């Protein structure tokens, strides 16, 4: 029925029995492991099935929206996909105990040179739930202030050494998503979520909880 909200359609945590597990690889930030999981089989029976997992600490991304309705994008080389991608300021949650909104604030400052006075949560997603534990929280940051470079205690190296910055009107960014010009998952999700939030007068936004 039009105008109603079905709150029964919502994801929820669940854990099936893991009979065995083996770590295949570990680096300082990520790992790979195999789990043997007991799952439903045919005829009401269960069976143990191997599932390989990419273990990821999680990440954050930031839709920085200025007073003119423009979104901030950064271009970064991504070796795994062989592309220069226009992305949101973003980063891994690789500091133990750091709240995700604090990680988002730090990434916005370090990668783009901005602070924001107003923060809300836009989306909370599992980008590749079929094989990865990665969870990405996308924030909306508003009431922005540019920070002088000499006040930022961060050295940009490797892929971050050359990241052009572009302010794009939100409507143009949405068009770039829908015409297939943008491919980064967090950027696609964040831009479309921001458009929906702005359309609703920002009334549906969730607080960015620490």
Burial 118-140 (b: 16+ CB within 10 A, else e): ebbbbbebeeeeeeebbbbbbbb
Query: DSSP class of residue 65?
Result: B
Six-digit token string for 205: 């936004």
> What DSSP state is assigned to residue 101?
H
| pLDDT for position 27 | 94
Shared domain for 45 and 92, answered yes or no, is no
Q: Quick check: 102 pLDDT over 80? A: yes
Q: Which two tokens stand for residue 187?
A: 């950027």
- Concerning whether 160 is annotated as a catalytic residue, the answer is yes
Catalytic residue among 107, 146, 159, 160: 160
pLDDT at 24 over 70: yes
Residue 189 domain flag: yes
Residues 6+ apart with CB under 8 A from 15: none
Q: What pLDDT is stored for residue 20 in this prediction?
A: 97
For residue 91, the enclosing domain spans 59-203
Q: Specify whether 73 is located in the same domain as 160.
A: yes
Q: Are residues 174 and 104 both part of a single domain?
A: yes
Instruction: Using the 3D structure, point to which of 7, 39, 54 is the last residue of a domain.
Output: 54
Residues 109 and 182 in one domain: yes
- What average pLDDT does the segment 34-58 reach? 93
CA distances to 39, 66, 89, 105, 154 from 114, in Å: 47, 11, 10, 9, 13
Q: What gap in Å lies between CA 205 and CA 141, rounded to an integer? A: 11
Say yes or no: 63 and 48 in one domain.
no
Residue 209 covered by a domain: no
Q: In terms of domains, do 72 and 35 share one?
A: no
Per the structure, the count of domains in the chain is: 2
Lowest average pLDDT, out of 5-19, 85-99, 127-141, 142-156, goes to 142-156
Is 104 found in the same domain as 147?
yes
105/44 same-domain check: no
Residue 1 lies in a domain: no
CA–CA distance, 19 with 197 (Å, rounded to integer): 43
Q: What is the mean pLDDT of residues 60-85?
A: 96
User: What is the spatial distance between Cα 127 and Cα 90, in angstroms, rounded to a whole number?
Assistant: 14
Shared-domain flag, residues 25 and 100: no
Kindly state whether residues 92 and 168 are assigned to the same domain: yes
């Amino acid at each position: 029925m039009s105008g109603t909200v079905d709150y029964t359609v919502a994801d929820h945590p669940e854990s099936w029995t893991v009979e065995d597990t083996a770590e295949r690889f570990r680096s300082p930030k990520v790992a790979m492991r195999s789990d043997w999981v007991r799952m439903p089989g045919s005829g009401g029976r269960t069976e143990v099935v191997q599932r390989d997992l990419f273990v990821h600490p999680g990440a954050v991304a930031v839709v920085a929206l200025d007073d003119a309705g423009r979104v901030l994008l950064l271009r970064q080389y991504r070796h795994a996909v062989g592309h220069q991608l226009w992305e949101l300021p973003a980063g891994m949650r690789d500091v133990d105990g750091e709240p995700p909104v604090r990680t988002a604030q730090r990434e916005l400052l370090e990668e783009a040179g901005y602070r924001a006075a107003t923060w809300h949560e836009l989306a909370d997603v599992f980008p590749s739930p079929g094989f990865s534990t990665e969870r990405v929280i996308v924030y909306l940051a508003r009431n922005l202030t540019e920070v002088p470079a000499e006040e930022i205690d961060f050295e940009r190296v490797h892929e971050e050494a050359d990241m052009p910055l572009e302010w794009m009107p939100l409507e143009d960014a949405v068009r770039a998503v829908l015409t297939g010009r943008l491919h980064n998952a967090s950027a696609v999700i964040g831009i479309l979520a921001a458009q929906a939030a702005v359309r609703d007068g920002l009334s549906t936004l969730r607080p960015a909880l620490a």
